[in-house]
Structure 1
């Protein structure tokens, strides 16, 4: 399939967007460093305080993960476009070479037949009428070669334009890759800080933390009532939503891996994207874009298949399954599971289909 140059809006991000992303990454790095220092400077934290700080670090790591996902999506798209531009430049170069070969053949023929005045040639030929007919053909061929030369010049300009656009896009891709590296560093720092905090807990407390849902662990210590995975399933409103819910159920127990979209592991938005993809619906990659992918619904109107979002920064998402429950990928070390939508600060919901 022929590649076509795309409009200028193909740029990865404007200066304001890049500045915002850098500022967020810088702030996140500072926060992670502060927490690491805090973990060392506060030796007498209670178990609840440790878990609360770990929850906050995991939340911030997930926010950085969603920023990483967004940057990766743009970088992947840019990389694909660069490849398309390179292919297009190669195809145009082939056509240019063909035009040059045609012109070269004509020039060679002219050189071999040149050097004799046309009047002398007319006098020497045995068939003047035939010669004159041939001369008329040569004039037509000359006009065709003029067109070929114009086409070559046009092809050269087009190739230069395609190569310039690819070069510009490569520079932006390098910036995008640097942003990916920054988000990756922030995520790793936050996860390491959370693990350092959790290392203070007893093995039983860590097991309880892994079995719970972050901020809900403190409640779980006092109230052992957790979302029942064997509770009757609530019917979905349509076949697509039903397929998405079925996919999420099949993913239960699979690990959380930041940046993963399945089928062996997921992050939160990767799970919801994969669930709806199985139903034939393409969702954006990140939480902050998925929330705008459908129709906003109130909490009282939730139905199985709806996307439910959490935290003020829209940094976490789950797939609603009814009865106040969702299936989500919580955090590193916590597999895909069923949880109450009350376990985290609720931010809104979107109905996809």
Structure 2
């Protein structure tokens, strides 16, 4: 298969078209603006609809409409833009509408800056909107994985009738790497017989709604959603463990941080420290199974993030007090070096 050198944002956009995305609604914001720019050029030529909305709020509600009609639809933004979409995301989850949402994270809070960050973790995994809901969250660590996870995101959204969030960062969106667009066999997915496409031979038209004025009915709906989320937790945890066979210590990192941490792990191994890397690929459901695999031999864990400590809470919940959990983070768009993380690994070993 031919490799193509592409920027992350543009590779993601191309993968979305190939995955069957028919509608995109968004609004430009750095560092993800190349994504809608690519789709603005390519989607109309290839049978799709691109529309730059007047705001992020408008864009996410357009997604609601297209998803309700049963088409594959996507939106993208960066941190403060995703904040504006939170009400619509809650509506999408409440109405059980499949879609893909891309967040190429930048520094915050507020407008912050346009440098890479991972400080939207809580927003993504806890649900920044209102109510008891969850979005599936995928965290790529390379441009190739950005491409691969786009296909998975659309399939998972359709399979579970739920929004899927791809959580990248400014480095992944802007960096260029060779990618391969693999041909994928069609996946068996449930029919969209719930979509608002007219009667289509039915006696009644479909109605899509997230409003339940009867509290008994709303509780029933929430319990139904919760059962779905339990199924997702059981079936869709994804992760990678590197150098785990003989490791006594583990670094935990996702996205671009995982690549930097991997280099630090190799440095530590050259120094005689038996350390491995746990890379979560799903941030929700969080891959607790990875920790169950290594806990019998793990002496300590070091969580590395481009934040002041968000994913570390999920690491602690997964470890359940059975080993110490340490943290190292940079914030505001600052990115740690492999040497910095290597020093933290040495500290972890000394403290444990």
The TM-score range, normalised by the shorter chain, is under 0.3
TM-score (structure 1 length as normaliser)? 0.23
Structure with a larger share of its residues in helix:
1
TM-score (structure 2 length as normaliser)? 0.23
Structure having greater relative contact order (Cα 8 Å, sep ≥ 6)? 1
Structure with a larger share of its residues in strand:
2
